[in-house]
Amino acid sequence: MTNTATLVLASNSPRRRQLLALGNWKFDVIVSDVDETQLTGETPKDYVLRLAQAKALAVAGKANPEAIIIGSDTAVIDGDEIIGKPKDEADAERMLKQLRGKTHQVYTGVAIYRMSDGKTLTELCVTDVPMRPYSDHEVQAYIQTGDPLDKAGAYAIQHPDFQPVESMRGCYASVMGLPMCHVVRTLQKLDVPPRADVPTACQRLLNYECPVSGAILSGASNG
């Protein structure tokens, strides 16, 4: 990576900023604004990959000509249904009750766009998320914090009090919005190696012993 090249994160998410910082790269944040409406017949995979690419391209006109732009989109999937952000508290309650006590999937698409030659690489991470059987009272208490209202599926996996997830065997960072091992292996294809031990830093930050990082970094897994 040359001295003039700069990573750009096309997201306003503080969680994504926190995760990308684990690589110890210098990066800028340029907020993207794209229509997130699902297209007719669009699969969850196609949906998150399309939006990730759209977010990266949306900020290209504001970025350094040598920039490498990272776009990401995360969706909560229950069966074939894409569950977005709740419209209001009642919608958040509906979503949380729909998801409790069963396993859903989180799809995160990543698109990395190199301005200098227009090359775009994409990654998809799919993680099973088993939710615990939390009570109606816990749902109401969590909604009163305001935290669910800007979250896909109306929850944050890392919320210290609610802690909605029972257990996991996949990429925790992906559920937070940015699967860092996927980002690392994609940036390496563009000759941008990490400047830190990302798997170790990620597990320390999330207090999570990740069972999939090695397989992802070796290219043997997408989960």
Residue 184's pLDDT is 97
How far is it, in rounded angstroms, from Cα 7 to Cα 187? 10
The strand pairing partners of 192, in sequence order, are none
Give the model confidence (pLDDT) of 29-88 as tens digits. 999 999 999 999 999 999 999 999 999 999 999 999 999 999 999 999 999 899 989 999
Residue 101's pLDDT is 97
- The C-alpha angle with vertex 8 and arms to 85 and 171, in degrees rounded to 5, equals 50
Residue 221's pLDDT is 77
Q: What are phi and psi for residue 83, nearest 5 degrees? A: -100, 115
Residue 5's pLDDT is 57
DSSP-derived pairing of the beta strands 27-29 and 81-83: unpaired
Mean pLDDT, the chain, integer: 94
How far is it, in rounded angstroms, from Cα 168 to Cα 127? 9
The strand pairing partners of 125, in sequence order, are 108
SS (H, E, C) the chain: CCCCCCEEECCCCHHHHHHHHHHCCCEEECCCCCCCCCCCCCCHHHHHHHHHHHHHHHCHHHCCCCCEEEEEEEEEEECCEEECCCCCHHHHHHHHHHHCCCEEEEEEEEEEEECCCCCEEEEEEEEEEEECCCCHHHHHHHHHCCHHHHCHHHCCCCCCCCCCECCCCCCHHHHHCCCHHHHHHHHHHCCCCCCCCHHHHHHHHHCCCCCCHHHHHCCCCCC
User: Average pLDDT of 136-155?
Assistant: 96
Q: Is residue 173 pLDDT above 50, yes or no?
A: yes
How far is it, in rounded angstroms, from Cα 84 to Cα 150? 9
Residues labelled catalytic: 73
| High-pLDDT (> 90) share of the chain, % | 90
* Tokens found for residue 176: 């937070």
Residue 219's pLDDT is 84
Residue 203's pLDDT is 96
User: Average pLDDT of 154-165?
Assistant: 93
Residue 2's pLDDT is 43
CB 109 within 8 A of CB 52: yes
Residue 1's pLDDT is 43
Q: Is residue 222 pLDDT above 70, yes or no?
A: yes
Residue 4's pLDDT is 47
CB 213 within 8 A of CB 199: yes
How far is it, in rounded angstroms, from Cα 109 to Cα 99? 21
User: Average pLDDT of 161-190?
Assistant: 95
Give the model confidence (pLDDT) of 87-103 as tens digits. 999 999 999 999 999 99
Q: Is residue 123 pLDDT above 70, yes or no?
A: yes
Residue 175's pLDDT is 95
Residue 126's pLDDT is 96
The domain 7-217 having CATH identifier 3.60.21.70: the answer here is no
How far is it, in rounded angstroms, from Cα 92 to Cα 90? 5
Give the C-alpha distances (Å, rounded to integers) separating 150 from 16, 97, 193: 14, 17, 32
